[in-house]
Amino acid sequence: MPRLAFTCLLLLACAWLPRHADAQVRQCIGGDGTLVYTDRKCEDIGGREQPASQAAAGIGGARMSRGGCARSVQDLVYSLSSAIQSGDANQIAGVYDWAGMSTANGYRLFARLEAIAKRPLVDVQPMYAGGTNEYGYDVVEFDEATGEVVSKPPRKPHLVGLRVEQTLANGSTPARTVFGLRKNLGCWWVRL
């Protein structure tokens, strides 16, 4: 009899234990248009359910790029600018092409990236190869005899790198870093 009473009390105690709660994560669009993840109903937080087609493709139907890499030079400029402004060398390392680098060289390079991350950012600009200015436009040449503009056939500017303009800690001494560019598997990366 005591065994039966003990078993019944044990079962009764187990019934009072908290049970596993199944929570479904919902993607909601908040009142201000931002994407919110919650385990509650979207209406409870003042939002609306995001349609499944948009949830799979990203907000507004835009496709997320594989691995979050920069698919265009403009994306790379934005990513590099944001990384430098954050002051985090790890974010700069996220847009760097590390392929083929040894461990020792990786540590040396990361020290350089940390120095870049500590300096205030002024600007990041694309650089183009010879015969063009920093904006990629052809340099105008004049005929020495007549003084007229020498016409050249139009050509596509050749992008060669990104120029990062910064200041040193004193806020007035300029510092410049030039990153080379590499496109690999549809993504743009920087190199020193």
Do 145 and 130 meet the contact criterion of CB atoms below 8 Å apart?
Answer: no
* 108 plus 140 within the same structural domain: yes
pLDDT in tens, 133-187: 555 556 677 888 888 877 776 667 788 899 999 999 888 899 999 999 999 989 9
Where residue 21 falls among pLDDT bands split at 50, 70, 90?
low
* pLDDT for residue 53: 45
- Across 1-5, 32-36, 122-126, 133-137, the highest mean pLDDT is recorded for 122-126
Is the pLDDT confidence value at 117 over 90?
Answer: yes
Sign of torsion over alpha carbons 52, 56, 59, 60: negative
pLDDT band at 19 (very low <50, low <70, confident <90, very high): low
The tens digit of pLDDT for each residue in 47-100 reads: 888 765 444 444 333 333 445 789 999 999 999 999 999 999 999 999 999 999
Per the structure, the count of domains in the chain is 2
Residue 137 covered by a domain? yes
Could you tell me if 53 and 147 lie in one domain?
no
pLDDT at 185: 87
Tell me, yes or no, whether 96 and 159 share the same domain. Answer: yes
Domain that holds residue 160: 69-191
Query: pTM for this one?
Result: 0.55
**DSSP state letters, the chain:** -HHHHHHHHHHHHHHHSPPPPP---EEEE-TTS-EEEESS-GGGGT-EEPPHHHHHH-GGGPPPPGGG-BSSHHHHHHHHHHHHHHT-HHHHHTTB--TT--HHHHHHHHHHHHHHHHSPEEEEEEEE-SSB-TTSPBPP-B-TTT-PBPP-------EEEEEEEEE-TTSSSEEEEEEEEEEETTEEEEE-
Asked whether residue 90 falls in the same domain as residue 162, the answer is yes
